[in-house]
Amino acid sequence: MLILCVDDEPDSLTILRLFLSAHGFEITVASSAAEALCLVESRRPDLIITDYAMPAMSGLDLCRALRGQVASRDIPIILHSGVELRGEHPDLFDRVLLKPAELDLLAREIRSLLPAAGAQKSA
């Protein structure tokens, strides 16, 4: 299972990469929404975890772009946000986790979105 993690904070990407790799997932990372869109075109991930607040193009903008393309509209998306959205834009992403999200909660949400992830090493 390939997970794309998108965040402009290198420390956040490092934590996600280490945690998810340790749980048997293949990880690719992007430090911007624009970079993420390029990666999705070259290698379609099974799930995307994206930060909300990023410069130039926000996580919401990324979700809009992904949902607007036939090739990526069904990829599960977890919005990792320091901002509570209160049910706004439910069609753009599958889950919202407030930062800092507990890593065990993140693992449970991934497993709920990817039924095949149950075969991965348990968290």
Fold of 2-116: Rossmann fold (3.40.50)
pTM of the model: 0.88
- pLDDT of 36 above 70: yes
Q: What is the pLDDT of residue 97?
A: 87
Q: What pLDDT sits at residue 86?
A: 64
In the prediction, which pLDDT does 121 show?
Answer: 40
Q: Cite the beta strand spans of the chain per DSSP E.
A: 2-6, 26-30, 47-51, 77-81, 95-98
Cα Rg of the chain, angstroms: 13
Whole-number Å distance between alpha carbons of 26 and 96: 22
3-state SS class at 23: coil
Answer yes or no: is pLDDT of 87 > 70: no
Instruction: For the chain, give the percent of residues with pLDDT over 90.
Output: 59
Model confidence pLDDT, tens digit, residues 56-75: 999 889 999 999 999 899 99
Q: Tell me the backbone φ, ψ of residue 41, rounded to 5 degrees.
A: -70, -35
